[in-house]
Amino acid sequence: APQTPAPTSDPTPAPQTPAPTSAPTPAPTSAPTPAPQTTAPTSAPSSALTPSASPSPSPSFSCPDGQVGFTLTLTTDDYPEETRWVLKQGNQWSTGTMIASVDYLTTYTKPQATYIENLCIEENKTFMFRIFDKVRDGICCNHGKGEYSLALNDQEIHRGGEFNRKEQTKFEAISSYSNTNAPPGIKVVTEPKGGNLDSTNEDEEEELLSKLPHN
């Protein structure tokens, strides 16, 4: 039988993958760039400009339609018990309707203290406010620096304190009063020494005051 001849040379070896000649590229040694951070502004933004004149404000207390907020702010002197006041509606003191009052000795008891009285009064009517000092030296400035102010809808219409026995402010209760448009009809009269604001003498007036209902 025929015989397979022996190979004359060794068989071709299988291919081998050569080992890499260098190590792989190393991972980056530096940390990644951090995310950006928002820097706070170095100064606050400019504030909005305040208008030079504001519209007529509503009073700091509520009044029904057809009424105006009236505020008396009174700082007493060293003898608060000597002060009283009366608010009337009308054109003449003797015939006016009493709206509110406080009496001597009972209401104001703390020296150099501030009292605030809030009332709702009828719009577009005439009112008269009188403040009295029992010993004729007002509430400023010989015995403490007292003062008082009157306001309509939080806008001041008169400020005083230096008078003798009494001072009267006559005004119209106008709701549209603002610090740029003074209401018409405000008239302030300070009683002169030895005189009276009207024909009523002092004894008669004291008697009338004592009969008025008061808060």
The structure tokens listed for 23 are: 């190590």
Evaluate whether residue 17 is within a structural domain: no
**What residues have CB less than 8 Å from 43, skipping those under 6 apart?**
none
Count of the separate structural domains present in the chain: 1
> Are 149 and 139 in contact, with CB atoms under 8 Å apart?
no
Q: What is the pLDDT of residues 185-194, one digit of tens each?
A: 688 888 765 5
Evaluate whether residue 113 is within a structural domain: yes
Evaluate whether residue 164 is within a structural domain: yes
Instruction: Give 123's pLDDT tier (boundaries 50, 70, 90).
Output: very high
Evaluate whether residue 117 is within a structural domain: yes
| Domain assignment of residue 198, given as a range | 67-210
Pairwise CA distance, residues 199 & 40, whole Å? 73
Q: What is the pLDDT of residues 22-57, one digit of tens each?
A: 555 555 444 444 444 433 333 333 333 322 223 344
β-strands 114-122, 97-102 pairing: unpaired
Evaluate whether residue 78 is within a structural domain: yes
